[in-house]
Structure 1
Amino acid sequence: MAIIAQLSDIHLAAGRDGEVDDGSGPVRALRAAVSSLLSLPARPDAVVLTGDLADGGRPAEYARLHALLSPLPMAVYPMPGTHDDRDALRAAFADHPAVAASGDGAAPQAPVQYAADVAGARLVCCDTTVPDEQYGRMDAERLDWLDRTLAEEPARPTVVATHHPPYPIGIRFIDDMGFADPAAFAEVIARHPQVVRIISGSVHRGSVGSLAGTVSTTCPSTYRQLFLDLTQPGRAAVTGEPAGFAVHLVSDDGSATTHFVPTGNYRPLMDVE
């Protein structure tokens, strides 16, 4: 069984001096998330970061992110969100082979997309970002890449990661800047039944939906959660709910389970007989 942890919407922000304040909320929150992840009785085999890793896409933000993630002994797979700069992200994580390879021979600001093996499962990281836009999209070239990449390993249970969720969330302003043309993405997913889970960020809270018969989830933010207002037009606001992350279990038989974990080192209070 593969265990894949998911951290998302970290939003490390540099100040006016161009540096990231170690006392800032996003830094403290990420440290807590890393500590919580390392306290799990079964450590994940890998960690995927599903976008909005930096708040302004600045090199200093990615450098600090890289350093804050250094206590993690497992492989880390970053991918961009709407707040990220592809080239700055790729440069900061040049020591990660999959990330570096995604830029080999590519033009500036080329999509950061790649696949990786994780304990017998496969993780396929898609780039749904559109430069200078809030919404997401997989254009024809990226969809073709995804189709070919999935076809390479048809028998291996696969998790597909995106920043923008490809299903409606029900929070108006999130859906307004969501995944454009999810039907084309769904057509590709439907051709590859080994995809056992689609995991996304952007929403700043956990949710469960479906696409092309595949369970799809979003992840809590390591920093701030969005207020769950399902009314129309709804209120765009953050809430005091605890930060968190997700843990995905992928079995050899192709089954998958997702857990949402609040940040904090929670210890057993008592054994249950």
Structure 2
Amino acid sequence: MAIIAQLSDIHLAAGRDGEVDDGSGPVRALRAAVSSLLTLPARPDAVVLTGDLADGGLPAEYARLHALLSPLPMAVYPMPGNHDDRDALRAVFKDHPAVAATGTGPQAPLQYAVDVAGARLVCCDTTVDGHPHGHLDEERLRWLDDTLAAAPDTPTIVATHHPPYPIGIRFIDDMRFVDPAGFAAVVERHPQIVRVISGHVHRGSVGSVGGKVSTTCPSTYRQLFLDLTRPGRAAVTGEPAGFAIHLVDERGSATTHFVPTGNYRPLMDVE
């Protein structure tokens, strides 16, 4: 069984001096998330970071991110969100073979596929330069289709930053995955896909795309207020930070758990 942890929307931010304050909220929150992962009884086989890793897309933010993730003994797979800069992210994570192989042109899409304990993780780049919304153009959709076709018998998780289904929170849907029909058509063509996972929403949710279960991940930092009215209030809440754990078994069945950050211990045995 493959166990893949998902951390998202970390938003490390540099101050006026260009450095990331070690006492800042995002830093403390990421340390807590890393600590929580390390205390799980079954450690994940890999960790995927589904975008908005930095707040301003600055090299110092990615350098601090890289250092804060260093206690994790498993492979870590970063991908960009609308707050990220692909080139700065790629430069700092150049020691990751999958990232290093994603291209050398300015702002080339940062997308790749890796094998994880008998499953496959396909990381898509839905970012649009200079804009908060997401999109996969024909070239990126062709890459996704070809990548999936290369391993039709391997249970696969497809990761994006922008979710490919409506969330119901007005200002998040204003920054939506634009024209997801092409993406849905590709997903529907490949039955080995067991889950589509995304970030961007700063809270857990479950939807569907192309006949597959699709989920979003809590933020390791701040959660968004669940206001489903119109126009709704754009606000953060005091809800606990968190992350997601995705299990993929040998039969190609997938299960997702949403985990609040914290080192929770068993209170009592129940059997």
> Normalising by structure 1, what TM-score?
0.99
Name the structure 2 match of 1:60.
60
Q: Distance in 2 between matches of 1:192 and 1:219?
A: 23
Give me the CA root mean square deviation: 0.4
Alignment of 1:185-196 (within 5 A): 185-196=183-194
Per the alignment, residue 83 of structure 2 pairs with 83
1:107 Cα offset (Å): 1.4
**1:95 and 2:114 aligned:** no
- Residue 62 of structure 1 deviates from its aligned partner by 0.1
CA distance in 2, matches of 1:72, 1:122: 20
- 1:17, 1:59 → 2: CA distance? 13
Distance 1:61 1:40 in 2: 27
Structure-1 residue corresponding to 2:166: 168
Q: Which runs of 4+ in 1 moved over 3 A?
A: none
Give the aligned residue type for 1:98: A
Deviations 1:99-129 (A, max 9, x none): 00012xx310011000000000000000000
Matches within 5 A, 1:169-184: 169-184=167-182
Gaps of 5+ in 1: none
Aligned identity (percent) is: 85
Paired position in structure 1 for 2:152: 154
* Alignment-derived partner of residue 9 in structure 2: 9
Q: Distance in 1 between matches of 2:246 and 2:57?
A: 28
Ranges in structure 2 where 5+ consecutive residues have no aligned partner:
none
Task: Tell me the secondary structure at the aligned position of residue 141 of structure 1.
Answer: helix
Tell me the distance in 1 between the aligned counterparts of 2:180 and 2:194. 17
Which deviations, in whole Å up to 9, do the C-alpha atoms of 1:230-268 show, x marking residues without a partner?
Answer: 001100000000000000000111100000000000000
Once residues 250 and 214 of structure 2 are traced to their aligned partners in structure 1, the CA distance between those partners, rounded to angstroms, is 19
What is the TM-score of this pair, normalised by structure 2? 1.00
- What is the aligned length? 271
Tell me the residue number matched to 2:231.
233
2:129 to 128, 131, 135: 131
**Deviations 1:31-81 (CA, angstroms, capped at 9, x unpaired):** 000000100000000000000000000000000000000000000000000
In the aligned structure 1, how far is the partner of 2:141 from the partner of 2:199?
19
